[in-house]
Structures are given as structure tokens and as C-alpha cells.
Structure 1
Amino acid sequence: MQLENLVVDALDPRLLGPFWEAAVGGEQLTDEPGIYETRMRVEDGPWLDLCFQQVPEPPSVAPRLHLDLLGGERQSEVVERLLGLGARRLDIGQSDVPWVVLADPEGNALCVMEEREEYAGTGPVAALPLSSADPERDGDFWAWLTGWVDGDGCAPRALRHPSGRGPWLELLPESAPKGTAKNRLHLDVRLDDGEDADETEAGIVARGGTRLRPGWGELPWRSYLDPSGNELCVLPPAGR
């Protein structure tokens, strides 16, 4: 399996998608009614598709998954560029911190990070912080699911692509248990050729995950919750 998509719910994918495409230097894959997709590549590392799907509900709850963008020595320049693209400054009670909190054009929180040694080679996205009831347990879950490996990141448990490049997946202690509201952002993994969906599902459940059956009819992918209740999808092997 491999991590393939970061999926973002959007009121207007054709507004939000181009903003993030410009923010991360992505290349457009899809621009259709109700969906916009862009691919972010990291030199000598992984790629990640950002997929914006249309939903009717605006952001309403604190995000359990968001993007930390690379700022470093160019932090102020990156912030000004994002503001010019349509972001705005956001106060979430962060007080005096070295990173800058912004909201994208639909109000989703993001951070522009200060210089950190751990962010060498990440590309434009430094980290994907994910709220967790148990970072050690969930780190094991996501390491198995994605094939990413432990590293010396900035979180209690931090995973990264085996190349040692690309963004960190940071498992952070949650401020409150996840409720019933769906995460605005979630991750998709794709099965490799020869991997079986039923066997993968058994592995997910054995590691504390849960199958979701949203009642949307027959779909080529399967939806789950990780052990802390965060949504994720498992896609079939490419070409199926």
C-alpha cells in the first residue's frame, strides 16, 4: 500500500483547488464539475495528490488534520504570497508561537512553519499533523498502512516516506475525542498489485480500525476510521 491522496472537502473545488495548487507548486490533474485534483511532487521522494471534492457543508469544527507549509528562512515571504493568493490571517488562540496560522479561501486552517532542521527535504508541505487519542498506537497503524517509517520529527510519533524526503505525518495528542462530524480533510491509500482488499480490511480491523458503510451504493474504494476515529479510504490497485 502507499499513501496517494490528501482529500479536502470543498464548497467550491474550482476555487480551493487552484489556491492549493499554487501554494504547493502542484500540477493540475483534473478540473471537472465537483472535483479538482493537483499533484505535488518532491524531488527524489514521493508525490501526493491533493483532491478537492464538493460538499454542501462549510467548515464547522476544529480540524484534526491540516497542512503545515514549509516557511523557514522565507516564512514571511511565503505568508505574503499565500495572502496574495486568497488566504487570510487566523486567530485560533495560538498566542506567541514561531509559526503563522492562516486560513485558506474556505476557512480551513493551515500553518506556515519557522526554520526547523527536521524539515530538510520535505518539499512545500512540511508536515501533515493528525490528531490522535494514542500517538504510539496510531503510529503503528499508519506505519503499517502506508509503509512510512519512524523518524526524528517534531511530534510524539512522526512518520515519513522511506526515501527520507517529503512531508512528515505527525501523530499529535488530540485536544478532545473525535465526535461524529466528518473530518474536512482525510487521507487515501492505494493497494498495490496483488494486495487483497479483504485481507487489508482484516488488518485494519485487527489494528483498531473500523469499516464505514456510508450507504452511497457500490464504490470502487472502501472507507474506514483509524483507531482514533479519523476517516480514511483504501483505493483498489491502479487500473481497476
Structure 2
Amino acid sequence: MALRLVQVNFKARDDAALGRFWAGALGYGMSSEGPGVTNLEPEGIAWPDPDGFYVDLVKVPDPETVRYRVRLDLATTSPEHQAELVARLRKLGATPADAERGDGPWVVLADPEGNVFRVLEPREAHRDTGPIAAVVVGCADPRALAAFWGEAVGWAVHEAGDERAVLRSSRGVGPFLEFARQESGAGPVRSRIHIDLIPSRGQEQAAEVARLLKLGARPADVGQGEVSWVVLADPEGNEFCVLGPGSSPSA
């Protein structure tokens, strides 16, 4: 498969401050390729190492207030680790959050700019994901959206149901990609977090974009102007970027 899920991208009011929070939360290194862009990467792994999963934070004038369509779930290795991580995140600036909490042994928090995430209880499936257990996308039809994304990135379906569907790289590295049923609200849904994909070495960005359009993606205009990446939306309208083979992680 010629595309790889390489990172999540946050819109931020203050990319450096939010970057410091997430670097501390994940144990990632922090750098900047230019004003208004903060790059986070696992220690000892440089972009775009295929074993790395990255986080970008890009400053925008005023991120819109939105329903939380995409979130991160963080992994823990023991009840003690979960408690320690929650305490550390609180010291870094996280606050308790009840948004769509549901019932479970996880802890729901919000980062300093209000992005909701969960600190999960220990799970055997997450022992080798790294600090990010899953990227979770809210949607109306988890089964159908997982089918699209499975074809898009060539990931195996681990679970598929009406309420939840889960994908994982066949290489067994990095976070899971999860689709969770979420009731739609009134008006358009925009997210402050999106997924970035990158073509494998030697693959053409244009060919991959054409393939995704045939699978059911559609072009998206978010005011990006002339850029090296292509912005698309999946069949439920979740925007994502397809980077060029030589792109930096600032899309």
C-alpha cells in the first residue's frame, strides 16, 4: 500500500504552548520549522521514519469552536501508570472533561486549548502502540468509514460493528485508528485535529489522490491556497491531507 498514516495535526491558538503540553504528555521531542509551526516527534526518531508517529501544531488566527470529531486516546501500562500520567497531565495544564465520557475505566481530560482526550486503563492490545494508543474519529457509520480507511491505507480491520470499528497497521506499529459512532449535531462539523497521510517512497502523490477520490473521498477547500499537500475529505466529511513525498510535517 502506497499511503501511510504519519501524523495528527492540531490547529492551535498558540502552537508553541500547546506543543509544550503535548511534548510533555507524550515524552516527545519538540522543534519548529518556522513561525507558527511546532513539530513533535518520538525521541530518537526523525521525520519521516516509518516507525514514527508524529504530531504537528499549526497556529491559526482563531480556531473555531467545534464539536470534538477527532481525539487521541493515550496508552498506559498499569493502574499506577494511569494514575501517575493523569496527575502529570494535570500539572502540565490539563483539566477534567465530561464531554461524551461514557462509562468506562478511562479518564477524560482536555488540553489547555480544550481538545478532549482520554487516558485509557491498561490494555494488552496497546502494549506496543507507544504513548498514543489510538486516533479516534467520531462518525455516523463506523463500519462503512472503516472500510474506506482500510482501503485508503491498507490497514487490517480488527473490529467492525455498528458502534465501533478499529483498524491497525499490518506492521503492528503505531496507534490504532478507531471509528466510534457519534450522533450528528446541527450545522456543519469541523475539527481542530486532522490526519495526515504520506505516500511511500517512490509513489506519486497525484496517483494516490486519484485513488482516494475513486474510493469515495472528495476535494476540500479550507483556504489552504497554493501548498504542496492536497486536502481531501472522507465520505463523512472528515478532512485530511495527502503530503508530497518530500513534504515537511507542517501540512
Distance 1:18 1:123, change over 3 A: same
Structure-2-length-normalised TM-score: 0.85
The answer for the alignment partner of 1:92 in structure 2 is 99
Letter in structure 2 aligned against 1:82: L
**Alpha-carbon distance between aligned partners in 2 of 1:197 and 1:167, rounded to the nearest angstrom:** 24
The answer for the alignment partner of 2:125 in structure 1 is 118
Letter in structure 2 aligned against 1:204: L
Report the more deviating stretch, 205-214 or 172-181: 172-181
Q: Does 1:206 align with 2:208?
A: no
Distance 1:66 1:178, change over 3 A: farther
Letter in structure 2 aligned against 1:151: H
Q: Secondary structure at the match of 2:70?
A: coil
Letter in structure 1 aligned against 2:101: Q
The answer for the alignment partner of 1:17 in structure 2 is 19
**Alpha-carbon distance between aligned partners in 1 of 2:184 and 2:145, rounded to the nearest angstrom:** 16
The answer for the alignment partner of 1:194 in structure 2 is 202
Aligned residues: 240
- 5+ residue gaps, structure 2: none
Q: Does 1:166 align with 2:174?
A: yes
Q: Percentage identity across aligned positions?
A: 35
Distance 1:42 1:167, change over 3 A: farther
Letter in structure 2 aligned against 1:35: V
**Alpha-carbon distance between aligned partners in 1 of 2:44 and 2:70, rounded to the nearest angstrom:** 20
Q: Name the Cα RMSD after superposition.
A: 2.7
Letter in structure 2 aligned against 1:22: G
Alignment deviations for residues 131-150 of structure 1 (CA, whole Å, 9 cap, x no partner): 12222222122122223222
Q: Secondary structure at the match of 1:75?
A: helix
Alignment deviations for residues 174-210 of structure 1 (CA, whole Å, 9 cap, x no partner): 2216853431100010112332333322222222111
The answer for the alignment partner of 2:56 in structure 1 is 51
Contact 2:109–2:116 (8 Å) recurs in 1:
yes
Report the more deviating stretch, 99-108 or 34-43: 34-43
Alignment deviations for residues 89-135 of structure 1 (CA, whole Å, 9 cap, x no partner): 11225365311111101111011111222222111111111112222
Distance 1:199 1:165, change over 3 A: closer
